[in-house]
Structure 1
Amino acid sequence: MILAAIATLIWLYLYFLHGHFWHSGPELLPARPVTAPAVDIVIPARDEVETIGAAIASLLAQDYPAPFRVILVDDGSTDGTAVRAAEAAGSDPRFLLVSGATKPAGWSGKLWALDQGVARSGAELLLFTDADITHDPRHLATLVARMGTPERGARLDMVSEMVRLNCESRAERALIPAFVYFFQMLYPFARVNDPLSATAAAAGGTVLIRRAALERIGGIAAMRGALIDDVTLARLVKRGGAIFLGHSGLARSIRPYPHLADTRAMIARTAFTQLRYSAALLALTLIGLALVWLVPPLAVIFGGGWSFVLGLVAYLLAVLSYRPTLRRYGVSGFWSLALPGIALVYMEATLASALRHWRGTGAQWKRRDYGAGP
């Protein structure tokens, strides 16, 4: 009964006091900016031939009332990414293709590519986005409108969005909404957006940042080796300015994760990095996840009396908290009943990430091995 009571207390806190993370909001709605500064859109790309054409075409089709450019930094692709991007852009003068230089030691590939793109930019605002994301024509204007202006008293240094992830296959329906849900739990968006809270986070698929704010933190070089670069950037920017994190209804990732192993690999790639490569944090995390996700259903199945009641309360709070995220992705609410099993997959992937680190292989992505260290 003690474990069931602890689990219930945790869920009462999570549901009522943890920034209402489960609301699955806010979402940026289409808007037009009061003032429209010039924007440079920087896309780091490495072997993205299947998605880059659609991404480039959607960005060049933006309905934005000021000059903007699309700067693609080809980071050593071997699959024709640069050719496909150039075909999609045609003769549009707003498109600039940069052939990335060899990555220096100590840099992550994505950040090195971003740094080269920033070096070719002179605009007041910079939009960092991924090569697998397509954008509604209203997206750029909406992001700039959310940045605000000094005249309207709502000036932000950075706006980021959790773009809509691909969620079509059975494996995606099982794990992708949970990925977003767990991210919201880890970084409650309301706390991220509260200038008085220390919580900071961003979603790397869409990051609009003021050049002045980027220069204030020391540029991309200030986080050159970060593997979880979006959260690192948010932490640096929030130390001296206001940021916003929300959900996007105007941008979506077209990268598929058709099999369970694909999503698991995405999780395992940087899970131990998130825990700062700490065995103690890993142990505490696994214990905490077991209390939150496994104890309630086990108490319902095998407990009696107060253990059953407490387990049922905790389990119902978990189920209810997951429903808004499932609705956002158009997935049946019955998947909320499977949260304990889904959590087991995430726990195993986190442990696998740690084992990979201890074996010396570290994080791997796009034919690059980032080693076992931070």
Structure 2
Amino acid sequence: MQKSLLTPVLVVAALAAHAQNITVTGRVLSASGEAQPGATVLERGTTNGTSTGVNGEYSLSVSPQATLTISALGFAPQQVPVQGRTTLEVRLVASATDLGDVVVTGSRAAIGRSNVLTASPVDVISAREIKAFAQTDISQVLTYIAPSFQSARQTISDGTDAADPATLRGLGPDQVLVLVNGKRRYQQALVNINGTVGRGSVGTDLNVIPTAAIKRIEVLRDGAAALYGSDAIAGVINIQLKDDTTGVQATGLYGQTVESDGQTQQADINIGIGLNKRGFLDIGGQLLNRGYTNRAFQDTAPLIYSGDGSGNYPASATTEQSRRDLKAQDDALVAQRGYDRTNIRVGQSALRNFSGFL
């Protein structure tokens, strides 16, 4: 019998306790008497609270003997006893401590990647960040990640369409030192010409290093000529290859332009083999097959072989019939010699690249 009465007794007690609360309404004003939106109204000693609306109004159910704590940014907190009242209007007092300037900065990185404790700023880029940007080679990855790095891919510019001139801090490609596992990487044989970035200089081809074999990339964004020599005036890029991987990792990428050309297929693979606790063997490889793009227009000259120097009708073709006959002869020559009116290709070249590291 006692057990059956326990639940109703608890419900009645809870209802009685709730009935003792009162609803307090009112407004919170600023020091000048204006409505203070966003102020916090909290029952002291509890988590029961609310915030004021756009007109400074609030409504909160509390105990008749409760004390309300009202606070807002830039104002001193106030303690107001309820004492059974159902309406309270509170005017805040400005805080004696002035707020300093608030500066908010943004970054594309979820976490800070720069080591600011070193004498010079060093960006450390992990393999996860490299894959997050879905680029086909290291030069393009660093262009998106490292703020001081720039890689210029130019079409119709000799071999720079395949080997991008890479620069740091706007200096020449031959003033950027590239290290692989802390050792100097040799420079390419291609001299940048034809008005490309770093014309007359020789840089280092970063794109022959498979992205799948990279553990991290460290970019020193300051001159280090005193330590490394004159080829480190712009900075240093140190590429650390994977040294603790076991198992197989493979990724693939496909894309094309909106003009349905420039198809790009890329496959990366990295294989780590343990050598019975005596070391490991890490093999990384990359296959990149990039199609060409063409943004040239057709040759619209009336005549290809029978016209004047500009492809127009010669002055001797004065009648409509003579022009038709000349056009028919020229079209026959075009068909005979296999001429294509789109006889020039303007865009990136086709590229097939195989690379591997052991």
Query: TM (normalized to structure 2)?
Result: 0.20
Higher helix share: 1
Structure with max Cα Rg: 2
Which structure is higher in RCO with an 8 Å CA cutoff and minimum separation 6?
Answer: 1
Higher strand share: 2
